[in-house]
Structure 1
Amino acid sequence: MHKDQPETSLRQNRKHSVRRLLAAAAIATLSLSAHAAGTFDDARNAAVLGDAKGLARLIDGGIDPNSVDASGNTLLILAAREGQAATVEALLQRGVPIDQQNPSGDSALMLAVLGGYDDVVRALLKAGAKVNHDGWAPLHYAAFEGRESMLDALFAAGADVNARAPNRATPLMLAARNGHIGVVRRLLAVPETDLNALNDAGLSADAWALQNRNTDIAKLIEAERKRRGLPAPSMRITIE
């Protein structure tokens, strides 16, 4: 009995050693897997910096591509906002929701239009991004910022030329207010453009243009109204 005790203890020690090695290996594997998977912050950085390969690796390693940051922006919104076409494409290939909006009501397409990123806008439209919805829409942003190069693509996708923003402004009003004469000309060339619509202050596009000293634009709108044989708009005055 006493003679066998050292051998028994040796076997027990070996078992404990094997268990410890296996446990250490498991922990190391988990640690490596977590490192490979990365974090949402890693994915966000890859998205905004245009690192498509890195972003794809993180998503394929387990990062949820539909996660949002503290401001409610998805990876697609972040990539589009920064004009990163490569990471936008990588996300679209993985089937992320294309029309999701952040708490401010901005979609990936809206922010790409706002930033003037034509290649991102084309990619999102090709993937079927929505151009018409309540509130601010992509065409409003294009008109407000003077993104003339984007108008035809938005119209081809079915953008409503008379869409109303929350302040009741149409795209023509926004372009006229901000002095974007090229956008105004393009909008006036669309027969459906409403020349007599009024915003929430009771101003038409040409009246708003005049208010902001864009007299050349006001004259263009007046000339188009005359060409169409339309009466001058009835200005609405609110008395409180």
Structure 2
Amino acid sequence: MLNLFDRMNGHSRFSAFLLLLALACLPSMSHASNADDMAKAAQLDDERRMKALLAAGVDPNLVAQKQRGETALMMALREDSKKVFNLLLNARGIDLNLRARNGDTALMIASYKGNVAAVKALLDKEAEPNNTGWTALHYAAAIGNDEIVQMLLDASAYIDAGSPNQTTPIMMAARAGKIYTVKLLLDSGADVTLKNDAGMTAIDLAKKFDHDDIAEGLTHRLKQAGKL
């Protein structure tokens, strides 16, 4: 005996095929819709919408911003959406150490933005300060936020972390002319003699970008230590 599908004529079979194809696409369409909704909630700091999405079972780690590969938590930090950030920070199953397409983590974005409260909250939740490539300490040093630098050091951030081109946090601070950050890192044990892939030290970078006071101070400290 022929089953129902076998008894269908050609047109009916083609229509059934299209229906099955459409049904197969529903999960991906739903996934895209959830991502768009999470992105909007993060951008607008819409706590109510984000709560509804999470209550409906949407993954808090879903990539909400495709171009940058960022989660809603990362977007909330970038947009300074405090209510959504706090909600996601405490969401069941949240992964604080996911990386965006460029390698940034939530902690790195918070550090780059100079968001002291968010950095503290992430570290209290045991977000990892160390990873390969650029780190939160690089970013905090580059903007000269000494409070965040100290918080990261207290959380065991590697002080001489090397970026992909072996730039260290103290090099970033010296390049940007952040003299107090340079001193903080130096006093905390940063190695000023390290060189990046271009063969430049923190002193070289300070000189290149006309931060002579930093170059002179670092040179003096190296001479005192008998390293020059």
The TM-score normalised by the length of structure 1 is 0.76
Post-superposition Cα deviations, 1:89-138, rounded to whole Å, max 9, x if no partner, equal 21121131100001110111111111111111111111111111110010
Q: Which residue of the other structure, out of 74, 77, 96, is the alignment partner of 1:98?
A: 96
Q: Which residue of the other structure, out of 63, 66, 69, is the alignment partner of 1:70?
A: 66
Residue 113 of structure 1 aligns with an amino acid whose one-letter code is S
Secondary structure of the equivalent of 2:70? coil
Q: Which runs of 5+ in 1 are unaligned?
A: 1-37, 232-240
Contact 1:83 1:112 in 2 (8 A): no
Residue 37 of structure 2 is aligned to residue 49 of structure 1: no
Structure 2 distance, partners of 1:200, 1:73, is 29
After TM superposition, the structure 1 = structure 2 runs for residues 175-190 of structure 1, keeping only pairs within 5 Å, are 175-190=173-188
Tell me the equivalent position of 1:202: 199
Structure 2 distance, partners of 1:209, 1:139, is 18
After TM superposition, the structure 1 = structure 2 runs for residues 30-45 of structure 1, keeping only pairs within 5 Å, are 39-45=34-40
Q: Which moved more, 1:38-47 or 1:178-187?
A: 38-47
Contact 1:177 1:209 in 2 (8 A): yes
Structure 1 distance, partners of 2:49, 2:185, is 41
Tell me the equivalent position of 1:10: none
Residue 163 of structure 2 is aligned to residue 168 of structure 1: no
Q: Which residue of the other structure, out of 137, 140, 151, is the alignment partner of 2:138?
A: 140
Residue 161 of structure 1 aligns with an amino acid whose one-letter code is I
Structure 1 distance, partners of 2:86, 2:98, is 16
Structure 1 distance, partners of 2:52, 2:224, is 58
- Offset, 1:86: 2.4
CA-based RMSD:
1.5
Structure 1 distance, partners of 2:139, 2:45, is 24
Decide which structure has the larger Cα Rg and report it: 1
Contact 1:84 1:120 in 2 (8 A): no
Structure 2 distance, partners of 1:178, 1:59, is 41
Secondary structure of the equivalent of 1:109? helix
Residue 226 of structure 2 is aligned to residue 229 of structure 1: yes
Residue 158 of structure 1 aligns with an amino acid whose one-letter code is S
Structure 1 distance, partners of 2:71, 2:150, is 27
Task: Percent identity, please.
Answer: 37
- Offset, 1:84: 2.6
Residue 127 of structure 1 aligns with an amino acid whose one-letter code is K
Contact 1:112 1:121 in 2 (8 A): yes
Contact 1:80 1:109 in 2 (8 A): no
